[in-house]
């Protein structure tokens, strides 16, 4: 019995020693393996989902994407530092959004960035409506020295054959025109819509275009609202908004100060409504010039009302060249305040940019023009009302009501000027207009007038 107990004790002690030695061996073996692995073994590349914390992973190329119909130009590679050429990124964003089946795809120009774009044509038609949301800044190359020689200098951003588009936002479109204005060459226009329809321009600030800030050619159903256009008073040919062969136009609640016409209305325009526009400095609101190079011009159903002309060279003006044909008719200027305007009311059918224009027998026929509730002050260097109509084709049916215009400084009130102008006064005017002719001119009796 004692031998058994002794044998059991010896066995337990031996087993315990064996376990102790084995554990030490395992610990030494594992440590050696770790050390060996650290120094010698080849580690396979980690998957992309587990980047090495000691080395920042390379950014994969940004792929075009959109979320909820929004196409951020940065997702297409635009940088927005004002110097990098972002033209390709904008074109990619446009093409992608244009072919999107979203009901109203939105191209986002984000706030806080300035994007430089070369001369570009954004082309339609698109699959659906499109919104270009400009919350940042858009700029062209900085002056003629930076403008690529192989790219046309006559236009910058062109939207062609677009149906149902909105150009909107709280951002800025800066034409960088300062380096162009004193050059003899004709610089580019900032923004042009061509052969497009159902357009909206809203909320933007546009400044310093080398020439026209906005131009609409052969467009239909254009709505412009709550925009600001600005360039210096001496910047040449910087019309705020010019429309040509465009109809169903509304221009509302906007401020324009520039070096030329705030709004100019060219041939082929009709059904144009301008309301609550503040203009100045600049050349006022003009219909024309029309009939240049003996061309035919047609303008009708134009209304300008509830607006302010402040320090402008002209207020409301119709200007035509000698030798033209066609007609201007159905025009209403109503409820307009003049503040120190040089030519508040003007019809000039002898418009000429040089002293070499010759007298011609044909002219654009001007008729059915209403001036109602036009009040304020005028610059004494010119007559407050100037009706210079064609010798061969007099102006007819000019109507004045509640027109009161006084000199801006204490000075003798100037008389209105009339030449071959026929019309009537519905109320007394200040100053009195005694030069308008009554009735129908004899030269028109028995003659069929060419109207549009």
Q: Which residues are catalytic?
A: 283
Cβ–Cβ under 8 Å, residues 280 and 313:
no
Collapse the DSSP code of 203 into the 3-class scheme (helix H, G, I; strand E, B; otherwise coil) and give the result: coil
Q: How far apart are CA 77 and CA 10, in angstroms?
A: 81
Per the rule left: phi > 0, alpha: psi between -120 and 50, beta: everything else, 420 is left
- In angstroms, the CA 171 to CA 168 distance is 8
What phi, psi does 3 have (nearest 5°)? -65, -35
For 160, other C-beta atoms within 10 Å of its C-beta total 15
Q: How many CB atoms lie within 10 A of CB 449?
A: 10
Three-state secondary-structure class, residue 51: coil
| Burial class, 306, CB count within 10 angstroms (exposed 0-12 / middle 13-18 / buried 19+) | middle
In the DSSP assignment, the letter for residue 61 is: P
* Tokens describing residue 425: 């006064």
Take residue 427 and report the two structure tokens written for it.
Answer: 């109320």
DSSP 288-342: EEE-GGG-EEEEEEEEEEEEEEES-SEEEEEEE-TT-EEEEEEEEEEEEEEEEES
Instruction: Tell me whether strands 155-160 and 417-419 are parallel, antiparallel or unpaired.
Output: unpaired
- Element containing residue 35 per DSSP (H, E): helix 2-40
């Amino acid at each position: 019995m004692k031998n058994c107990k002794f044998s059991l004790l010896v066995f337990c002690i031996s087993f315990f020693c064996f376990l102790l030695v084995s554990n030490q061996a395992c610990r030494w073996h594992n440590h050696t393996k770790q050390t060996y692995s650290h120094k010698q073994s080849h580690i396979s590349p980690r998957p992309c989902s587990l980047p090495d914390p000691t080395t920042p992973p390379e950014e994969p190329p940004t792929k075009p994407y959109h979320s909820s119909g929004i196409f951020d130009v940065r997702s297409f590679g635009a940088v927005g530092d004002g110097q990098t050429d972002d033209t390709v990124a904008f074109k990619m964003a446009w093409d992608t959004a244009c072919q999107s089946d979203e009901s109203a795809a939105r191209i986002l120009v984000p706030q806080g960035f300035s994007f430089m774009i070369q001369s570009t044509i954004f082309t339609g038609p698109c699959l659906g409506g499109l919104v270009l949301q400009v919350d940042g800044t858009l700029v062209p190359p900085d002056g003629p020295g930076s403008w690529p020689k192989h790219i046309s200098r006559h236009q910058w951003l062109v939207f062609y054959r677009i149906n149902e588009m909105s150009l909107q936002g709280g951002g800025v479109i800066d034409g960088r025109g300062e380096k162009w204005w004193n050059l003899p060459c004709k610089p580019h226009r900032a923004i042009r819509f061509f052969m497009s329809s159902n357009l909206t321009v809203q909320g933007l600030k546009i400044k310093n275009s080398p020439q026209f800030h906005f131009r609409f050619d052969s467009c239909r159903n254009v709505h412009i609202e709550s925009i600001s256009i600005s360039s210096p008073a001496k910047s040449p040919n910087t019309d705020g908004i010019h429309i040509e062969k465009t109809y169903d136009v509304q221009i509302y609640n906007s401020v324009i100060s520039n070096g030329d016409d705030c709004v100019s209305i060219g041939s082929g325009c009709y059904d144009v409504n301008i309301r609550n526009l503040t203009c100045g400095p600049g050349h006022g609101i003009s219909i024309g010039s029309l009939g240049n190079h003996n061309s035919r011009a047609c303008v009708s159903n134009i209304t300008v009302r509830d607006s302010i002309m402040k320090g402008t060279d002209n207020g409301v003006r119709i200007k035509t060249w000698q030798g033209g044909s066609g007609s201007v008719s159905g025009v209403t200027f109503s409820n307009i305040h003049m503040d120190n305007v040089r030519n508040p009311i003007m019809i000039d059918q002898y418009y000429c940019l040089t002293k070499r224009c010759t007298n011609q027998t044909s002219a654009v026929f001007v008729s059915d023009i209403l001036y109602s509730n036009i009040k304020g002050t005028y610059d004494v260097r010119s007559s407050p009302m100037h009706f210079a109509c064609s010798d061969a084709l007099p102006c007819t049916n000019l109507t004045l009501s509640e027109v009161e215009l006084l000199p801006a400084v204490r000075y003798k009130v100037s008389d209105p000027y009339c030449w071959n102008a026929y019309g009537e006064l519905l109320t007394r005017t200040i100053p009195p207009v005694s030069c308008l002719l009554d009735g129908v001119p004899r030269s028109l009796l028995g003659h069929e007038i060419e109207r549009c």
